[in-house]
Amino acid sequence: MKVLKKDPDWWRGAVIYQIYPRSYQDSNGDGVGDLPGIVERLPYVASLGADAIWISPFFTSPMKDFGYDVSDYCDVDPLFGRLADFDAVIETAHQLGLKVMIDLVLSHTSDQHAWFRESRADKANPRADWYVWADPKPDGTPPNNWLSIFGGSAWQWDARRCQYYMHNFLVSQPDLDFHNPKVQDALLNVARFWLDRGVDGFRLDTINFYFCDKALRDNPALPIDQRNDKTAPTVNPYNHQDHLYDKNRPENIDFLKKLRAVMAPYNAAAVGEVGDSQRGLEILGEYTRGNDRMQMSYAFEFLSGKSLSAPYIAEVFAEVDRVAADGWVCWAFSNHDVMRHISRWGLSIAAAKAYATLLMCLRGSVCLYQGEELGLPEAEIAFDDLQDPYGIEFWPEFKGRDGCRTPMVWDSDNPTGGFSTQKPWLPVPSSHLALAVQAQEDDPAGLLHHYRRVIGLRHAHDALRTGTLRDMRAEAAVIRFERHSADERLFVALNLSDSPATIAMPEGHWTIAAAEIGSVGPGPDGRLNLGPWQPAILSCAGT
Q: Judge contact between 176 and 108, C-beta under 8 A.
A: yes
What is the spatial distance between Cα 83 and Cα 282, in angstroms, rounded to a whole number? 38
What is the spatial distance between Cα 411 and Cα 73, in angstroms, rounded to a whole number? 34
What is the spatial distance between Cα 74 and Cα 70, in angstroms, rounded to a whole number? 10
What is the spatial distance between Cα 95 and Cα 1, in angstroms, rounded to a whole number? 6
3-state SS, 504-534, equals ECCCCCEEECCHHHCCCCCCCCCEEEECCCC
Catalytic residue among 205, 276, 301, 337: 205
What is the spatial distance between Cα 454 and Cα 487, in angstroms, rounded to a whole number? 21
Active site residue 185: no
Closest CA to 316 of 369, 358, 347: 358
For residue 22, count other CB atoms closer than 10 A to its CB.
26
Catalytic residue among 69, 103, 200, 273: 273
Closest CA to 16 of 205, 215, 294, 296: 296
Q: Judge contact between 172 and 148, C-beta under 8 A.
A: no
Secondary structure (3-state) at 460:
helix
For residue 445, count other CB atoms closer than 10 A to its CB.
9
Burial of 397 (C-beta count, 10 Å sphere; 0-12/13-18/19+) = exposed
Q: Which helix (H) or strand (E) holds 366?
A: strand 365-369
What is the maximum alpha-carbon separation in the chain? Answer: 81
> Given strand 163-166, what is the order of strands in its sheet?
133-134, 163-166, 155-158
The DSSP code for 59 is E
Encoded amino acid at 2, one letter: K
For residue 474, count other CB atoms closer than 10 A to its CB.
17
Q: Judge contact between 154 and 237, C-beta under 8 A.
A: no
Active site residue 321: no
What is the spatial distance between Cα 373 and Cα 409, in angstroms, rounded to a whole number? 11
Burial of 483 (C-beta count, 10 Å sphere; 0-12/13-18/19+) = buried
How many residues are listed for the chain in this entry? 543
What is the spatial distance between Cα 377 and Cα 309, in angstroms, rounded to a whole number? 20
Enumerate the active-site residues. Answer: 205, 273
